Amino acid sequence: MHRDQDTKEHTKRVDSALQYAVDLVRLLDALPCGAFVLDASQQVAAATRVFSTLLGYPQGVTRSVAFRDLVDAEDAARIDDFLATGEAEMTHAVSLRTHAGRSLSRLMRFARLASGEAPAAWVVGILIEERAVVPPPVESKLPADEAQAFAGVANWEVDVATGRTLASRTWYEIWGLEPDTDVTLNAVMQQIHPDDRDVARIAVQQAIGAAVPFRFRHRIIRPDGTLRWAESAGRLELAGSDGAPKLTGVVLDITQRRAAEEALARYYDIVSASPDRIAFLDRAGCLLAANAAFLEAIGQTREKAVGRPLQEVEGQGPLSDLVYRNLGRCLDGGHPVVDDIYESSPNGQAHESEVRLFPHRDDEDKVTGIVVNIRDVTSVRDSERRLLQSAVVYAATSDGVLMTDSDGRIVAVNAAFSRITGYAEAEVLGRKPSLLNSHWHTKSFFTRMWRRLIKEGVWEGEIWNRRKDGEIYLQRLHIRRILDGRGKVTNFVGVFAERPVSANGPKHVEYLAHYDPLTKLPNRLLFDSRLSYALDPARRNRTPVALFLLDLDRFANINASLGHQIGDELLRTVGLRLRETIRPADTLARLSGDQFGLLFEGIQTPTEAQEIARRLRSALRAPMTVRGHQVFVTMSMGIALESCLDNDTEVMFAHAATALDNVKQDGRDGFRIYSEPPLGTSTARQRLTEMLQTGLEGGEFELLYRPRVHLETGRWPGAEIRVRWHQAELGLVAHERLLALAESAGMTLELGQWILAEACRQLRDWSLRGIPIGILTVSISETQLTRFDLVPSLERLIRTNEIDPAHLELSFAESLLFKHPEQAREVLNGLYRLGVGVTLSEIGTSWLAPQLLRRLPIRRLEIHRSFVDAMPDSPDDLAVVQALIAMAQALDIDVTADGVRDDRQRFILLNIGCLEAQGDLFAPPLRAPHYERCLLQIPEPPSDAPVEPRLPLV
């Protein structure tokens, strides 16, 4: 009988313990992380939904599962040790096994349950987080209290009969009370904010009277006067453990969430009140959010617009065209876009809007959509155009112009003022026009002038003035005052000419404002006007208009070698030859510098545009004689051939400029017609990105080594690193093509970092084996310079591979020094501190100041291969090479010539002082084993060696 009684008591204790475990797990379900309870035999007594879902048990982890089945053997043994030592709690990283057998690493906290509530060997486990490091608590807490404190949630219980409240320790912390405070329901109600108290009383009364669950938000006034926001939920338990009805529930501290919600509401109010149209599109082009201005503009309600594609909501309008045309640039490239569109209001009035597309990024820096901001800039653009036209007239007019402030001090003059008076702008700014006084007029003359100017606002007449050299001359002067919006005088403007200008004279202001003074061709202002005029009939008749942009190739080299006078004469000659090649009705203009524009109307097909381009190339290829110099020039052409139904002048110029840039990237001396990117461009780019990523991870890339050769000794002091790609679908992809593919796929940074890391690894291997490698040169792209922490990354690679930085050299294109001067200076100085050498490549293609070279830690210059390739047939290119070598020698900088093809070029370079070169004459890019054999002077090359070096190795 005693045995039966003991068995019943044991069963009762076990059932009680199991019920406690289940109740505790219900509480722990409020945690965002998982938790479970183990019994004395390490069986899972209960587990939260989060823990079960994490391990792949949708129906929950049952009691038949032992904890040692869920962890590695080592972790199971560690739990055994914990139980044996009798410690109260333990925090340790545990490797969990899911139902599918996958391993998950989590930081867990194990705590032994209090002996009065469950068997002493029972344990509660809480998943903290992945890779978290949690310091041990200052004082021991019950697992339930610790879980509630972690989640910011607390449970409570109210005896309906007495109003006495029982709660967890975290509940007291939320309400600002001491844990041992005796609290009643009425006292709790008094701590609720008066504005929320009635809602709380009604909810509690309904819960008690009608057993209706409640949930509401309220404010808590803590004893110290601070205010907290909380969310309370509860229900009536009709029979508790003692048989009395009780209210039970939880309270959640939402103070921080409430602050975030209020801030979000304020931001929404600001966005809604903005006159700009603002919207958010997802990656599929669907409208997810929009402010009132945007919805009003498209004539849609929020319910009908949100969730639908922009094309359906806005229709086939200019905004949709702009957005879908730039989806790839924003979503895949991550670049913002700013462009203007023309729209029509419901009353038919046209207006101009500036559209800004910003890529939206999530916390992981992934582009999730596009933020669209549209602003009406009609008046702004009109003002800009008027200002531009005024500025052109101001700068190009042959009449002298000076402007003074309200006190009569000169604030601005134009170039004609300096040409007529002999005073430079810096000499007259801040002074008064009286410095031009000839003293031939009486004081009463100037008194009458200023009286009329103040009374009528304008004065016009003839006046004698004095030039800087003392010469007295007669002016025709026109002075006008300028008033602000309140009628206050702000400036005076004077326009003068040396003599009266005839209405039919050749120096009309209008003529000078619209024609280039050097070539006498139309300038950009007149060309824009004619293009706009040509678009109207083109839209009506649906006939294409062709816009050609022409750039002289390497015109800067001609200016540098022959002088600016020869360069100016060459521009006039080119303009004349182009004028003779086209029809009289076609428009030819000099737009800027060495860029010309051509406008052709009535072009029917791309074939016709290509024929015109070939005719222009043929005309320019014939040699030109300029002041006794025979000059050969080539030209790059970008062509925009469009129906102009939706495009304006700026769009056509942008398309032609894009085509022109493509020609320059392909090596210049050619032409290309702009074409819209195909619909599948984004998909193709994504596919290319995936192929490149797979190639990087799968070892499909291989480094090649292009030797640098000492021209006198034949010794190899180093090599330039190149890369090629062994791709199953594309075949063997060479260095230049691979770089272009990486740039188009947005993988330049990843490829460049791989090349740098692989070069350091190979350098370490050769160093350990004693191979006389010399210096390895790695080219650095613009993306690596501007978007990557290059110096710290390289420092880590050098330290990890334990290599001598003196054997490494980074090469930067010369143009990067001018495009990103501050970043380039910082990176180059950082490399100098590391002991890594710096090479400037493509020398000669842009303007390089010796002062800049002296300030930067540059070890070597590499002359661009185009100049070497033209030797010895081109005296001009030879002169450029000589000048570059002389500059390098004067600054004590090494110089290397790239692209040497034959012995003639080699001997010329030696004679003019260039001691190092690289090119096909010596050796092509070699694989690592072949390059190594050449350095060690092993006679038999590997079977796959493309060619033996022609120079002996010393």
- Residue 572, H or E segment: helix 564-581
Sign of CA dihedral 486, 489, 490, 496: positive
pLDDT at 811: 93
Structure tokens at 30: 């409020």
pLDDT at 385 over 90: no
Kindly indicate the confidence band of residue 676, based on its pLDDT and cuts at 50, 70 and 90.
low
pLDDT at 139: 37
pLDDT at 720 over 90: yes
SS3 assignment, position 861: strand
pLDDT at 539: 62
pLDDT at 462 over 60: yes
In whole angstroms, give the CA distance from residue 383 to residue 401: 21
Q: What is the mean pLDDT of the chain?
A: 79
Alpha carbon of 376 to those of 302, 342, 358, 854: distances in Å? 22, 10, 18, 49
For 231-240, what is each residue's pLDDT tens digit? Answer: 999 988 876 5
pLDDT at 461 over 70: yes
pLDDT at 76: 79
For 886-944, what is each residue's pLDDT tens digit? Answer: 888 888 899 999 989 888 888 999 888 899 999 888 888 999 999 988 888 765 444 44
pLDDT at 944: 45
In whole angstroms, give the CA distance from residue 367 to residue 333: 9
pLDDT at 137: 37
pLDDT at 31: 58
Kindly indicate the confidence band of residue 277, based on its pLDDT and cuts at 50, 70 and 90.
confident
pLDDT at 69: 80
Most confident of 3-17, 115-129, 150-164: 150-164
For 522-551, what is each residue's pLDDT tens digit? Answer: 888 778 877 877 776 666 666 678 899 999
pLDDT at 702: 92
Spell out the residues 6+ positions from residue 135 whose beta carbon is closer than 8 angstroms to its own: none
pLDDT at 474: 76
Kindly indicate the confidence band of residue 197, based on its pLDDT and cuts at 50, 70 and 90.
very high
pLDDT at 401 over 90: no
Kindly indicate the confidence band of residue 677, based on its pLDDT and cuts at 50, 70 and 90.
low
Helix axes 790-801, 748-768, angle to 10 degrees: 30
End-to-end distance of the chain based on CA atoms, in angstroms? 105
SS3 assignment, position 454: helix
The helix, strand and coil proportions of the chain, stated in percent and rounded to the nearest 5, come to 40, 25, 30
Share of the chain above pLDDT 70, in %: 81
Spell out the residues 6+ positions from residue 577 whose beta carbon is closer than 8 angstroms to its own: 619, 620, 624
Sign of CA dihedral 178, 184, 190, 196: positive
pLDDT at 948 over 60: no
Least reliable range by pLDDT among 277-281, 583-587, 837-841: 583-587
For 14-39, what is each residue's pLDDT tens digit? Answer: 555 556 566 665 666 655 667 878 87
In whole angstroms, give the CA distance from residue 353 to residue 378: 7
Alpha carbon of 504 to those of 112, 395, 461, 462, 510: distances in Å? 105, 21, 20, 20, 11
Q: Whole-prediction pTM value? A: 0.36
pLDDT at 340: 86
Neighbours of 260 (CB within 10 A): 11
Sheet holding 246-253, edge to edge: 183-184, 164-167, 153-159, 246-253, 227-237, 214-221
Cα 391–Cα 393–Cα 397 angle in degrees, nearest 5:
130
Q: What is the mean pLDDT of residues 207-229?
A: 88
> 531 vs 64, which has greater pLDDT?
531
Q: What is the CA radius of gyration of the chain?
A: 41
For 744-756, what is each residue's pLDDT tens digit? Answer: 677 888 889 999 9
Q: What is the mean pLDDT of residues 612-625?
A: 87
How many residues make up the chain in this entry?
954
Most confident of 113-127, 406-420, 646-660: 406-420
Share of the chain above pLDDT 90, in %: 11
Tell me, what DSSP letter sits at residue 546?
E
pLDDT at 950: 40
Mode of pairing for the β-strands spanning 808-813 and 837-843? parallel
pLDDT at 952: 36
pLDDT at 91 over 60: yes
pLDDT at 945: 41
Are 788 and 756 within 8 A, CB to CB?
Answer: no
pLDDT at 301 over 90: no
In whole angstroms, give the CA distance from residue 561 to residue 554: 11
Kindly indicate the confidence band of residue 5, based on its pLDDT and cuts at 50, 70 and 90.
low
Kindly indicate the confidence band of residue 763, based on its pLDDT and cuts at 50, 70 and 90.
very high
pLDDT at 134: 36
pLDDT at 946 over 50: no
